A and B are shown apart, each in its own frame.
Chain A
C-alpha cells in the first residue's frame, strides 16, 4: 500500500514495535461478495448477463438502472456502514443498500427468479470474490404476510441467525433454520466487515414457498421525479442551486461577486468560491 513509503520513514524515527504495528493493517485482502444460493437479485441478473438478461425482472432492473450494477455485482455495499444499517438505508431501498447505482434491485415485482424452498434447514452459500477474515453475517427473512409487490422495510425482516467472527472463503455455507411461510419471500443478509474497513454488504434473495397467490407481474416503473421548471437566471442576484446560469451572468455569494464562465445548472457543492471552473470572482 501507498503508505509504505511513509511507514518506512516513520520506522526510522519511531520505535520498532510501533513501526511493526503499522505494517499489519496494510496486508489485508479486499472483500467483495453476494449470496449465490439462494441467488441474490444482483447475482441472478449478473448470471443472466447484464447486456441481455433473460428474465423479465432482470430486464426491468436493467431498464430501470442500467447495466453497471450487474458488472459490479459483488459490491452492493456501504463503505462507512459500521453497523448503522437501519439508520443509513431507508425503507424501500434495502435491496440496493440505498444506492442509486443499484436502484434496479428495489423493483417491487412478484416475478424475480426465486428458489423453491420449504420450512426447515436450508443451506445457503455466500460467494465472496475476495474473502476477508473476521466478518459478521446476519440473516433475515421477510415476515409472514409480506408481499414482493410491497416495499421492503426494516420492520418486514425477521431475524434468523447471525454468525460472528467468520472467516469466509470464496464459497461459504451456513445452514439456516427456515420458518413456515407461504408464497414469495426474501432472505436478506448483511455482511459487516470488522477488519480494516467499516464496509457492509447487503443482499436480497427471492425464495418461493409455494402455495401463494401468484399476483400478476407488476410493471412497477419507478415514479418519475417531478419535473422542475428551469427558472430564467436573474441578471444579478444571490447564487441559488437549481438556477441555470449562462456565461456572463453575475451573482453574489457570501458578499462576493462572481461571473459565470461556463453554462451550467447550479447544484449544492458547486458554490462559486469552490468552482473556479464555473465562476470567476470579480
Chain B
C-alpha cells in the first residue's frame, strides 16, 4: 500500500521525471516528520529549563504549555513514522538539499542553563522565537505541499500555534 501511495504521489506530483522538481507529497510527509522530531525535542529541552530559571510568571506558564504540547506532538509523529515502517531519524544532512532545518546547538542550551532570572528570560525568548520561526518555515511547506491530511493538519496547527507563540513572546520581550 505504501509503495502504491509513493508511486501515486510521484505520478500525481510529476516529481519523478526531472531532478529539478521541488519535493512534495508523500516523501515530503516523511521528511517533515523526521526533521520536526529532533527539532521538537530540542525545543522541549530548552523550555524545560524555564521551570527553575525564568522570572516571568507568564513565560513559565507558556514554557510549560509548549513543553507539554510538543511532547504530545512528538508521540504522534513517532507513531506515524513507525506505522509507516519509516525510521525516526534520517541520515545526517540527507534533507539539507531541500532546505534542511536549523538545530539549536548544544552550546546554546549550555548558555541558557547558566543564566537565571531576567537575563535567562531575554535569552530564552529570543532563542525560542528563532527556533519556532524555523518550525513555521518547515510547517508551511508541509501544510502546502504534503500528502496525508493528518500530517498536513498537524503542520497547519504548528504554523498557527508557533506564530501565536512568537507574538506572545515578542510581547513578553517588550517588558523585560
Chain A interfacial positions (CB closer than 8 Å to B): 1-3, 5-6, 9-10, 13-14, 18, 21-22, 24-32, 65-69, 71-72, 75, 77-80, 82, 99-101, 130, 132, 134, 194-199, 224-225, 227-228, 241, 244, 262-265, 267-270, 274-278
Contact = CB atoms under 8 A, between A and B. Distances in A.
Given A5-B86, A22-B10, A100 B129 contact: yes
28 contacts: A1-B91, A1-B94, A2-B31, A2-B34, A5-B86, A18-B16, A21-B17, A66-B126, A66-B127, A67-B126, A68-B127, A75-B102, A80-B145, A82-B22, A99-B133, A101-B134, A196-B23, A224-B175, A225-B174, A262-B65, A268-B160, A268-B163, A269-B157, A269-B158, A270-B164, A274-B157, A275-B69, A278-B65
Given A134-B20, A196-B98, A263-B61, A10 B7 contact: yes
A77 B96 CA distance: 14
Contacts of A195: 19-20
A79 B71 contact: no
B83 to A, nearest CB: 14
Greatest chain B CB density within 10 A among A21, A262, A269 is at: A269
A24 B19 contact: yes
Contacts of A262: 64-65, 68
B144 interface: yes
Contact of B161 (A5, A79, A196, A267): A267
A87 to B, nearest CB: 13
B82 interface: no
Interface in B137-167: 137-138, 140-141, 144-145, 156-167
Contacts of B27: 3, 6
A100 B69 contact: no
Interface of B: 2-3, 6-7, 10, 15-17, 19-23, 27, 30-31, 34, 58, 61-62, 64-65, 68-69, 71-72, 86-87, 90-91, 93-100, 102, 104-105, 108, 122-123, 125-127, 129-131, 133-134, 137-138, 140-141, 144-145, 156-168, 170-171, 174-175
Contacts of A101: 129-130, 133-134
A2 B90 contact: yes
Contact of B2 (A6, A32, A68): A6
Contact of A224 (B97, B102, B165, B174): B174
Given A2-B90, A277-B72, A79 B137 contact: yes
B110 to A, nearest CB: 13
A224 B164 CA distance: 16
A227 B97 contact: no
Most buried by B among A225, A241, A244: A225
Contacts of B174: 224-225, 227
B165 A267 contact: yes
Q: Give the interface SS of chain A, mostly helix, strand, loop or mixed.
A: loop
A75 B137 CA distance: 11
A73 to B, nearest CB: 11
A264 B87 contact: no
7 nearest A-B pairs in the assembled complex, by CB-CB distance: A66-B126, A269-B161, A30-B96, A28-B97, A269-B160, A267-B164, A264-B65
A18 B7 CA distance: 9
Tell which of B3, B72, B126, B160 has the most Cβ of chain A within 10 Å: B126
A153 to B, nearest CB: 22
A13 B98 CA distance: 26
Given A13-B3, A69-B130, A101-B130, A198 B71 contact: no
